Structure formats: structure tokens, C-alpha cells
Amino acid sequence: QVLLVQSGAEVRKPGASVKVSCTTSGYTFTAYFLHWVRQAPGQGLEWMGWINPFTGATDFAHKFQGRVTMARDMSISTAYMELSSLRSDDTAIYYCTRGGYNWIDASYFWGQGTLVTVSS
Amino acid sequence: NFMLTQPHSVSESPGKAVTISCTRSSGSIASNYVQWYQQRPGSSPTNVIYDDTQRPPGVPDRFSGSIDSSSNSASLTISGLKTEDEAEYFCQSYDSRNVVFGGGTKLSVL
């Protein structure tokens, strides 16, 4: 079955960076877009961007451009999201999601989420 | 960027039907597919409707989606409500480069 397993919770100080991994299994890693979505405590879902695991191409929501990097390692079917210059309002659960053949397709599979806490 | 506006909360009794709306602020609702996600407390979201009206495998046919161009909105209808349907529901759509989520609607079944 399709699984997306994310790395564990992280605590960072303001100004630091965090890198979250998303290890996939049960499907052809390079065939489907991967998105990153975050959810602040008690808040809604916020799309951050996508990566095409086949080409490595990425696109990000405007508010994260310059602060977010997305990458992948095809040899281990794993995607990464790194967010820099962290602020307290970056405290959130970060999800990786598997989309479809196109970036506009729905996210049928989600990781379990990674809590990132930004606190001094 | 456009916005998707949902009611903050809705409530209904078991066995009844409820409809959750999702109104697009700019651009035609019919031009880009709408997806719906269910999120129970403490869990990751799951997709319940994709491409406006389609149900993924395993989602009961009590869940249905529709589009209304006149109000520029999408709707999720859940019929025969069960207590297990109590959750938050998010709509999602996109434009040329962005994916946008609605703010979410908390459904209470009581």
C-alpha cells in the first residue's frame, strides 16, 4: 500500500532552519507530484509548494519563496522540505502529500505530519 | 491569488443531510477542479471528493460534490449523517500556479 512516512518532531530557535523528510513506498516515486502543506495550531491548511520527483522541478507559494527549498533523493524515494529563517508563526504541523500525475490533481495520500515548534 | 470561503461551522442531527459551501472570490469555480478533504481531530486529512464530483475508492456514496456557477461556489453534501462524520472539512482548488485551501468548516453531528 502507499505510505508516506515523515521524520519526527523538531524544535528550533527563531532564525534557524528545519529540514523535514518524507519517505515514500508502495508506488513509483517518480510518477507522482509531491506537495507540502502546513497547519498551524488550531488553524486551517496552507499549501507551501510542490516538487516533481521525476525532474526535480519545484514551485512554491509566493509567501514562501526565498525561504523554502524542496528536494528529492530518487535512490531512496524520499522528498525533503527545508524552511529557513524560522519565525514563531512557522510553528505548525507540516504534511507531505502525494498528488497525481499533474500538480493540480488531488492529494490522495498524506504523511502523518511533522510538528515543527519555533521557540526561543 | 483568489480565496475560498467556507462557513466556520455547521451542525446537524444524525440521519439528516448537511451541505457545506465553498465560494471562490475571483475566477470561475467551474474553470478549475475543486477537491474536498476531511480531517478528524489528531489525524491527517483524507480526500473525500476530487475533481468536483468524484469519490475516491472507499468513500461512501453519502458524500457528494457539486458546482454552482451562478454563485461561483462548490458544495459538499453529506447525507444520512453519522457521528463518525464529525470532522473538519476543507475545500481546495487552484489557479495557474497556486493551490488554495478554504478556511475549513467544522461539522458537528449531534
What φ, ψ does residue A72 adopt, rounded to 5°? -145, 155
CA dist A66 and A64 (Å) reads 6
- Choose the closest CB to B35 out of A50, A106, A111: A106
Instruction: Give which of B8, B99, B100, B106 to mutate to test A binding, by max A Cβ within 10 Å.
Output: B99
Angle subtended at Cα B109 by Cα B103 and Cα B110, rounded to the nearest 5 degrees = 135
Q: What is the pLDDT of residues B48-97, one digit of tens each?
A: 999 999 999 999 999 999 999 999 999 999 999 999 999 999 999 999 99
A120, three cell numbers? 526561543
Q: What is the pLDDT of residues A22-59, one digit of tens each?
A: 999 999 999 999 999 999 999 999 999 999 999 999 99
